[in-house]
């Protein structure tokens, strides 16, 4: 069933058909009385039957679609407010929310890898935070809306350069109001709510707060990143209403748990991107002729692609280890997450870099798609902590496992 669903997504995706990019998708009107929680069942039913149209609930503020090429030599990005990409991402999220969707961690990671251009890994970060620490009322309020695409959530941690830590946190609750600024928040300009890590005076010196971003005391400012296909923003809280998420003074421990889970999903996305970059380089090398023979026959090219293949295979193996640890809630989850994260980060960066080199001088131009993987690999390498930070976490996890 999952394979048929992925095939249906492939037939309707944007990135492989440039003419389709300019056709915004408008779903048919929902029949009266059609419940929103039947979203996943309806999509699966349509995918199995091979239908090209399916009713999907509209999102109030859809997420940014992928790159759209424009005429001219200078780079440009054009966003459409209602592309099919948004609905597919929302539907995948619906399938993955425990208690609402039907897919477990192993199936989620398969989808994240195969469709690495979708933002599923980022979308499930917010719902995992709610599942880790939310009370029943908070889960009831947001989880279903997240699954149906009616709401977008985000996780706000960083406040400036350097590695976040309880000591570096400046955002804090004062007289029942949240004050401070978070930077480079994924989807911060379009999200409906945020899980905010703020300073605390008790416990591990950090707490989680759930903040509705539609209130007047919250200001969101979009920021530019190397990969404009994924929006980021700075969010300023000016005496904003906030409700405690989880116990007071347990925010940093919860953050580490969430990052371990997010790292595995992002690692699968990186592996999917690395595989796509390698395939792009391979196809070009097989079709590009120099001195009467494909450049793929030259050792300088073969060695690049062979090394990329080895790194991808190693990263995928580590990701399977992480998927097992996450699916079984194993004691070595922190070790598996750090291992998957480090190897996948290295694999995607290497594959995207060598993809450009394989294309030669043309690989550096806007006209070729090599840049997309390079931009994405650099963004994913720092979105939940740098490679160096995760190498430190890996060493710490190994030391703890040796002591145990």
* Residue 174 belongs to domain with CATH number: 2.40.110.10
* Residue 111 in this model has a pLDDT that exceeds 60: no
Same domain for 270 and 233? Answer: no
Structure tokens at 366: 């806007």
Share of the chain above pLDDT 70, in %: 69
Sequence-ordered list of residues with C-beta below 8 angstroms from that of 346, at least 6 positions apart, any chain: 311, 315, 387
For the ranges 70-79, 184-193, 327-336, 357-366, the lowest mean pLDDT is seen at: 70-79
Supply the pLDDT for residue 97.
Answer: 52
What per-residue confidence (pLDDT) applies to 124? Answer: 66
Indicate whether 23 belongs to any domain.
yes
**What CATH number did the domain enclosing 265 receive?**
1.20.140.10
Number of domains the chain is built from: 3
pLDDT (mean) for 244-271: 95
Note whether residue 58 is domain-resident.
yes
Let me know whether 381 and 394 are in one domain. yes
Q: Are residues 54 and 195 in the same domain?
A: no
Q: Is residue 144 part of a domain?
A: no
Q: Domain for residue 211, yes or no?
A: yes
Choose the final residue of a domain: 105, 124, 143. Answer: 124
| Range of the structural domain that residue 280 is part of | 252-403
Q: Does the pLDDT at position 79 exceed 60?
A: no
Does residue 90 surpass a pLDDT of 90? Answer: no
| Same-domain check for residues 242 and 341 | no
Q: Looking at the structure, do residues 190 and 296 belong to the same domain, yes or no? A: no
Read off the pLDDT of residues 157-205 as tens digits, 9 standing for 90 and up: 999 999 999 999 999 999 999 999 999 999 999 999 999 999 999 999 9
Residue 380 falls inside a structural domain? yes
pLDDT for residue 225: 92
Q: Which residues contact 100 (CB under 8 A, 6 or more apart)?
A: 37, 40, 94, 143, 144, 147
Q: Minimum mean pLDDT among 86-90, 157-161, 254-258, 378-382: which range? A: 86-90
Q: What is the pLDDT of residue 60?
A: 31
User: In this structure, are 257 and 382 located in the same domain?
Assistant: yes
Q: Do 258 and 399 fall within a single domain?
A: yes
Q: How confident is the model at residue 17 (pLDDT cuts 50, 70, 90)?
A: very low
pLDDT over 80 (residue 19): no
My answer on whether 119 and 207 are in the same domain is no
Tokens in use for 340? Answer: 């998957």
Mean pLDDT across 22-31? 36
Kindly state the average pLDDT of the residues 146-157.
89
Q: Of residues 42 and 364, which shows the higher confidence score?
A: 364
Check if the beta carbon of residue 59 is closer than 8 Å to that of residue 86. yes
Residue 213 lies in a domain: yes
When pLDDT is cut at 50, 70 and 90, the band that residue 45 belongs to is very low
Using pLDDT thresholds of 50, 70 and 90, give the confidence band for residue 113. Answer: low
pLDDT at residue 303 is higher than 80 = yes
- Report the percentage of the chain scoring pLDDT > 90: 61
Q: Give the end of a domain, one of 81, 105, 124.
A: 124
Which of 190, 221, 249 is the endpoint of a domain? 249
Specify the pLDDT at position 125: 78
Nearest residue to 29 (alpha-carbon basis) of 48, 56, 2, 60? 56
Residue 164 structure tokens: 């976040």
Residues 11 and 70 in one domain: yes
pTM as predicted = 0.76
Q: What is the mean pLDDT of the chain?
A: 78
| 212 found inside a domain | yes
Q: Let me know whether 314 and 379 are in one domain.
A: yes
User: In the prediction, which pLDDT does 116 show?
Assistant: 47
Which pLDDT score is estimated for 149? 78
Question: Same structural domain for residues 24 and 90?
Answer: yes
Same domain, 170 and 188: yes
pLDDT exceeds cutoff 80 at 280: yes
Q: What integer pLDDT is reported at residue 38 of this predicted model? A: 36
More confident call, 106 vs 40: 106
Which pLDDT does position 13 carry in this prediction?
39
148 within some domain = no
346-385 tens-digit pLDDT: 999 999 999 999 999 899 888 889 999 999 999 999 999 9
């Amino acid at each position: 069933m999952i394979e048929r669903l992925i095939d249906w997504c492939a037939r309707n995706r944007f990135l492989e058909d440039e003419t389709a990019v300019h056709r915004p998708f408008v779903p048919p009107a929902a029949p009266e009385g059609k419940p929103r929680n039947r979203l996943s069942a309806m999509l699966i039913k349509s995918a199995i039957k091979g239908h090209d149209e399916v009713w999907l609930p509209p999102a109030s503020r859809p997420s940014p679609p992928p790159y759209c090429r424009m005429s001219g030599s200078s780079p440009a990005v054009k966003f459409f407010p209602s592309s099919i990409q948004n609905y597919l991402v929302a539907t995948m999220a619906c399938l993955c929310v425990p208690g609402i969707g039907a897919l477990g961690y192993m199936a989620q990671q398969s989808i994240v890898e195969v469709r690495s251009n979708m933002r599923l890994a980022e979308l499930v970060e917010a719902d995992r935070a709610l599942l880790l620490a939310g009370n029943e009322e908070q889960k009831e309020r947001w989880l279903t809306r997240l699954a149906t695409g009616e709401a977008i959530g985000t996780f706000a941690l960083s406040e400036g350069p350097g590695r976040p830590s309880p000591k570096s946190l400046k955002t804090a609750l004062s007289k029942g109001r949240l004050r401070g600024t978070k930077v480079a928040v994924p989807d911060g300009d379009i999200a409906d709510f945020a899980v905010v890590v703020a300073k605390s005076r008790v416990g591990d010196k950090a707490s989680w707060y759930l903040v509705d971003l539609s209130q007047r005391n919250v200001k969101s400012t979009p920021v530019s990143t190397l990969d404009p296909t994924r929006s980021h923003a700075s969010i300023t809280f000016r005496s904003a209403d906030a409700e405690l998420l989880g116990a007071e003074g347990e925010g940093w421990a919860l953050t580490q748990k969430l990052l371990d889970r997010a790292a595995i999903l992002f690692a699968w996305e990186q592996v999917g991107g690395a595989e796509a970059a390698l395939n792009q380089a391979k196809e070009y090398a097989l079709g590009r002729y120099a001195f009467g023979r494909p450049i793929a026959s030259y050792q300088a090219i073969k060695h690049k692609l062979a090394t990329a293949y080895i790194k991808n295979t190693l990263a995928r193996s580590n990701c399977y280890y992480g998927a097992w640890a996450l699916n079984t809630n194993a004691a070595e989850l922190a070790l598996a997450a750090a291992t998957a994260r480090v190897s996948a980060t290295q694999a995607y960066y290497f594959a995207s870099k060598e993809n450009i080199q394989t294309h030669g001088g043309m690989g550096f131009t806007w006209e070729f798609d090599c840049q997309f993987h390079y931009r994405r690999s650099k963004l994913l390498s720092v979105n939940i902590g740098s490679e160096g930070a995760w190498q430190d976490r890996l060493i710490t996890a190994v030391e703890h496992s040796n002591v145990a």
